[in-house]
Amino acid sequence: MPVDVTIPSPGESITEVVVGPWHHGHGDWVEKDEIIVEIESDKVTLEIPAPESGVLDVRAPEGSPLNVGDVVGSIDTEAARPDTAPAAPTAVAAPATTAGNGEQRINSVARKLAADKGVDVARISGTGPSGRVTKSDVLAASETAAPAAPAAPTTPSLRPVRRERLSTLRLRIAERLVAAQHTAAMLTTFNEADMTAIIDLRKQHKDAFKERHGVGLGFMSFFVKACCSALQRFERVNAYIDGDEVEYHDYVDVSVAIGTDKGLVVPVIRNAEALSFAGIEQAIVDLAVRARAGKLTLDEMTGGTFTISNGGVYGSMMSTPILNPPQSGILGMHRIQKRPVEDPDNPGQVALRPMMYLALSYDHRIVDGEQAVGFLVHVRQCLEDPRRLMLDV
């Protein structure tokens, strides 16, 4: 009897998902607990394993919108296991093996690879189960096929147009960004920080820090510590508006913006105010690695009280970051660049110093301008004199 493959719940707040890439195609033999398909929600991507061994029946193609609990496919557990030693792949111009409905049997990975390499799948005889064209077949065909003569350029060929469906994550990001600007009274205040002290401190201690803690000493830990210090003094920047009430937080859960191939994700460092520099750096590395691998959990993506976004890694000089609802504040970091400023050690004299523009966007419904400016000034002071972080002043 076929065993259904259903959509699990990625989290209690998520009811809709989109079918992601299938790791196996219709008619493939799969082993129990082998990953067969991915599903995408607005926050996380989950991998679904095969509940049993058998032949896969794909019922929902990639891109299909489904609800939690819907059936995405099934496993025929009574089907005969195929020969585990397929013949060597052959890339010849033979009639294509087709499924019963007249369509060629090829999994999504092999189809994409064929498109990337310009291989005509109709001219490949598949060596997979039931004659399915596999990745190996495509690779063999691409290696043996003679290069086609380049076509004469035409005017239309010089103006290609491509269309692709927006991912669920990208759609939800768009919705949240637009909603943030429609629901919050968002303003941005700016300041700049002289990064000399931090640069010198890192230069002096980065090797010992790496040897002691097994992680590099980056700029982000200084910013997280500086923001935690400021948020505990300007508590409205760390609060939410909930209806006609203000929800204050006596802890700091810092959301850190991380760019991935699928879009921007903002995982959370819990109780950042209680972490050491090493603890913060280790948390950032762990979150970044798993974010880019699509391994973050729903819990790790929700519940932050304040966000830090580092556009400087992409070369940004200045920006107005958008709030991450329901949060009331977000700090934007930018590129460090030497600029002429008054030398603090020699008043009246100009010196080139490594400067960074800082931007704080905030919800003016809850945070007054005085608090926003005070918050940003405190962050700047902590960055320019990191000893303040150790002394909590």
> Which of the 8 DSSP states describes residue 22?
E
Q: Respond yes or no: is residue 364 known to be catalytic.
A: yes
Tell me which amino acid residue 293 is: A
Number of domains in the chain: 3
Per-residue pLDDT for 23 more than 80?
yes
160-218 tens-digit pLDDT: 888 887 776 677 777 777 877 888 899 999 999 999 999 999 999 999 999 999 999 99
Residues 332 and 214 in one domain: yes
239 in the same domain as 206: yes
- 67 with 114, same domain: the answer is no
Burial 180-210 (b: 16+ CB within 10 A, else e): beeebebebbeebbbbbebeeebeeeeeebe
Say what percent of the chain tops pLDDT 90. 51
| 190 in a structural domain | yes
How far, CA to CA in Å, does 99 sit from each of 34, 108, 134? 24, 15, 14
Question: Quick one: 350 and 219 in the same domain?
Answer: yes
CA angle 235, 236, 237 (to 5 degrees): 90
CATH assignment of the domain containing 74: 2.40.50.100
Considering the domain architecture, whether residues 256 and 195 belong to the same structural domain is answered as yes
Arithmetic mean of pLDDT over the chain: 84
Residue of 33, 116, 207, 368 marked catalytic:
368
3-state secondary structure of 222: helix
pTM of model > 0.75: no
Q: pLDDT tens for residues 31-71? A: 999 999 988 876 677 889 999 999 999 999 888 888 888 99
Question: 46 and 192: one domain?
Answer: no
Residue 158, in any domain of the structure: no
Domain around 28: 1-80
In a domain, 141, yes or no: yes
Strands 306-310 and 329-333: parallel
Q: Which residue among 33, 116, 120, 364 is the active-site one? A: 364
Active site residue 261: no
Query: What single DSSP character describes residue 244?
Result: T
Inside any domain, residue 156: no
Are residue 68 and residue 91 in the same domain, yes or no? no
